[in-house]
Amino acid sequence: MRLREGELMPEDQSQFGVQRPDVVARPAVVARPAWAGPQPRPSRLRALELPPLRRRDAVLDLLLVLIATIIAPNLAQLFVVFDSDGGGIPDISLALIVQKCCEASLAVMLLAYLVLRNGLPPASFGLRRGKWLEQLAWSGATLAGVYVALLGGVALIFIIISLYPQAAGDMSRRVEFLEAFPELRLGPTFVLLVAVAIHEEIIFRGLLLPLVRRVSGSWVAAVAASSLLFAALHIPGQGLLGGLQILGVSVALSLFFLLSRSLPAVMLAHFLFDFVQLQLVRLLPDLQRMAEQAGS
């Protein structure tokens, strides 16, 4: 005999159908269905947010990175390289390559130290494994984004100069800086620009962005802090307007680093950008000469 929910067995009832006073019916248990709606998708930037790292440790690591960015440029003073003539005139080209290689080596060691000390996966700082074609595609997209930011910065600078003509002298500092870049053969130029890309991308994108995000809790603050520091360090050599251009380039590199989560992608884009810019500056006098000849 099947009983309905809450019904008593016959032996628990009297022969007249009256419940025994010592028997209490148990209430029916109603099972609630589990939530079957759409679950929130994990953030693409979850790995870069450094969740296992305590905020106090992130502050100490951030200070370490900032100190490294200040000390590193002075390491080349330990390697005073003289030319082969023995005249005591330092070879600026070779000294510059040595300096940038020192900075890149320090950045690599600093990244490895933070990964090993904190027990974090390399992907926490943008060192993705595999999917090289995807990372290569992101590198091309990053390079395009950097040039869009550069053109936007140029337009903004022209507006500033039209409003404040006295600012044109500041912009000439950037041109003089690029023209003063030492003439190097293709091999040394390649080594120099690779070292620059490795150093700057590890420090300002790979390390500063995740650490500032962990300390502040905001990706906007992380991008702003990293980009402003990157631009400020370029102002002494390239002027305020040159720093403004660098600021736009840095913001573009930071955003594409977050989109791609790939440090090699932004490194390659940085290297290609510097290489193309250097070649354009070197070709500029020839292009001007050709334009003058065509005009005459």
How does pLDDT run across 57-78, given as a tens digit for each residue? Answer: 999 999 988 887 776 665 555 5
- Segment 107-135 mean pLDDT: 91
> What pLDDT sits at residue 167?
75
Q: What is the mean pLDDT of the chain?
A: 79
Q: Write down the pLDDT at residue 218.
A: 94
Residue 234 pLDDT exceeds 80: yes
Report yes or no: 225 and 208 within 8 Å, Cβ to Cβ. yes
Phi, psi of 107 (to 5 degrees): -65, -40
Residue 207 DSSP code: I
Q: Tell me the average pLDDT across 112-133.
A: 90
Question: Which whole number is the average pLDDT over 254-283?
Answer: 92
Dihedral (C-alpha) 228, 150, 111, 102: value to the nearest 10 degrees?
Answer: -100
Quick count: other Cβ atoms within 10 Å of Cβ 208? 23
Average pLDDT over residues 32-41: 53
Q: What is the predicted pLDDT for the residue at 76?
A: 52
